[in-house]
Amino acid sequence: MTGAGEILLRAEGLRKSFGGVQAVRDISLDITGGTVFAVIGPNGAGKSTLLNLMSGIYQPDAGKLTFSGVDMIGMPSHRRVRHGLARTFQKIRLFKQLSVLENVLAGFHLHHQIPPWQYILHGAAFRRDRERCRDDAANLLAFVGLKPRAHVPAGSLSYGEQRMLEVARALATAPRLLMIDEPAAGLNAAEVEALLGRIVALRARGMTVVMVEHNMDLVMRIADRILVMDYGQHLFEGTPADVQAHPGVIAAYLGAEVR
């Protein structure tokens, strides 16, 4: 995978307001390829909004954003996916009636190898493409531990399984950078360990991961860098050890949360 050790995503002076609320105020960051970058901060700090700006759900009021040197400003979400940016959402967004496998297949629609007209003219190419997608989807389900559940409706999965399915679906777009918004929310301790293992495995393969997360134990164990936000602002950025040693961060956020 290209980009390991280089700046993959760069934000400069990002701003986003909703009415009178300055959700993101002047956020700048550099995310190095092949690392886990965590964003923490109290409820309403602007973490999800920052992810929404990175993924193109929202466009910033001001600031610059480049991914792999390509200007992302003005680019809609679906085109950013083609550049290698994928994400999950804080609120789970699965097709609950479709099977687990079909949910992952839905993630592939942005990544087909053949142009749409060939689906009509060349049935064989379509079948080959579909078989390849099913194989890839099965591999992704095995990766997140859901292969035995491939044919059940997504809505029948436990909450933790649904979160892992969202990760598999995001991975189906073959991203270089994966953004996950509160992946550990609602997971039990064993599921958090499984999630941690999967993120470590992705990083070992060269994937870059941006993680918004309230589970400080998980963040401190896995993040290479941590950005602390408060009231939309950059409060501090550093390694887990730097963050734990920073008095302002402890006062503003960590005091109540770190065990």
Task: Note the residues at the interface with Mg ion (CB under 5 A).
Answer: 48, 90
For ligand ATP, give the closer residue by CB, 23 or 167: 23
Of 177, 183, 179, 180, give the one whose Cα is nearest residue 206: 177
Q: In what order do the strands lie in the sheet with 62-67?
A: 21-32, 7-18, 62-67, 70-71
Window of 42-50, 94-102, 142-150, 161-169 that interacts with ligand ATP by CB under 6 A: 42-50
Q: How far is 201 from 190, CA to CA, in rounded Å?
A: 17
Q: How far is the CB of 47 from ligand ATP (least distance, A)?
A: 3
| Residue 250: partners with Cβ closer than 8 Å, 6 or more residues away | 244, 258
Tell me the one-letter amino acid at 157.
Answer: L
Q: How far is the CB of 45 from ligand ATP (least distance, A)?
A: 4
Residue 90 is a binding residue for ligand ATP (CB under 6 A): yes
- 59 binding partner (options Mg ion, ligand ATP, none; Cβ < 5 to 8 Å by kind): none
Alpha-carbon dihedral sign for residues 130, 128, 131, 205 = negative
The pair of three-digit structure tokens given for residue 35, joined into one six-digit string: 């690392």
Q: Using an 8 Å Cβ cutoff, are 99 and 151 in contact?
A: yes
- 43 binding partner (options Mg ion, ligand ATP, none; Cβ < 5 to 8 Å by kind): ligand ATP
- 46 binding partner (options ligand ATP, Mg ion, none; Cβ < 5 to 8 Å by kind): ligand ATP
Q: How far is the CB of 184 from Mg ion (least distance, A)?
A: 13
User: Binding pattern to ligand ATP, positions 44-63, x when CB under 6 A?
Assistant: xxxxxx--------------
Burial of 53 (0-12, 13-18, 19+ CB in 10 A): buried
Window of 16-24, 74-82, 103-111, 145-153 that interacts with ligand ATP by CB under 6 A: 16-24
- 18 binding partner (options ligand ATP, Mg ion, none; Cβ < 5 to 8 Å by kind): ligand ATP
Contacting residues toward ligand ATP, per CB under 6 A: 18, 21, 23, 41, 43-49, 90
